[in-house]
A and B are shown apart, each in its own frame.
Chain A
């Protein structure tokens, strides 16, 4: 079956700290992988994506690499800002099918 497992939060970091949010998946076939971000009081926004093995998605200083051998898509950022405080969702979609979301990881960045 298809599923996504994210590290549990909440995560609290100081500004300029390094961020890693772990995401592993199980999937049939060759899924596309995504990270979505939800800022307080808003809907989910696509942050980055990767559609095949070894692809690296990047946006706003965030990066994630599609690792087929470890079935992982960990989200990283070298230096977080207060404005990065949000809930982050890892997700996958098998070709043509619905999304499978992780449980979300809440990140709070303190000045």
Chain B
């Protein structure tokens, strides 16, 4: 009964490949997010969806494309992976207008 679940937990892939990370929440939240955490633990928001609509789209390469089939799911697809994409990617969810994110446990992406 994990609240926010991400898959896979670890992903090792070669440069140039395309990969997807999936996220699902069962909290009834209406807003979901993708964050990138670098090796220095700095968190950078990438995208946010509210009720399947994109509301935050920070400056990230257009190789990153989020998809939200319904408000319980937010997937992240990455094309043409580069070495600099190596990081931990966190999914999170919240109820808009109410404080408190719930985070997933992260996906550690390593591009070799």
Binding site for B on A (CB under 8 A): 32, 34, 36, 38, 42-46, 49, 51, 87, 89, 93, 95-96, 98-99, 101, 103-104, 106
Q: Are A104 and B41 in contact, CB atoms less than 8 angstroms apart?
A: yes
Binding site for A on B (CB under 8 A): 4, 33, 40-43, 45, 48, 56, 90, 92, 96-97, 99-106
A-B contact pairs, 19 of them (CB 8 A): A34-B100, A36-B101, A36-B103, A38-B41, A43-B90, A43-B103, A43-B104, A43-B105, A44-B90, A46-B100, A46-B102, A87-B41, A98-B45, A98-B48, A98-B56, A99-B101, A103-B42, A104-B41, A104-B43
Q: Are B97 and A96 in contact, CB atoms less than 8 angstroms apart?
A: yes
List, in ascending order, chain A residues with CB within 8 A of B103's CB.
36, 43-45
List, in ascending order, chain B residues with CB within 8 A of A38's CB.
41
List, in ascending order, chain A residues with CB within 8 A of B99's CB.
32, 34, 49, 51, 93
B35 nearest CB neighbor, chain A only: A101
Q: Are B101 and A44 in contact, CB atoms less than 8 angstroms apart?
A: yes
| Count of chain A to chain B residue pairs whose CB atoms are closer than 8 Å in the complex | 46
List, in ascending order, chain B residues with CB within 8 A of A87's CB.
41
Complex alpha-carbon distance, A98 and B103, angstroms: 14
Q: Are A95 and B97 in contact, CB atoms less than 8 angstroms apart?
A: yes
Q: Are A103 and B106 in contact, CB atoms less than 8 angstroms apart?
A: no
A74 to chain B, nearest CB (A): 19
Complex alpha-carbon distance, A96 and B45, angstroms: 16
Q: Are B100 and A104 in contact, CB atoms less than 8 angstroms apart?
A: no
List, in ascending order, chain A residues with CB within 8 A of B102's CB.
46
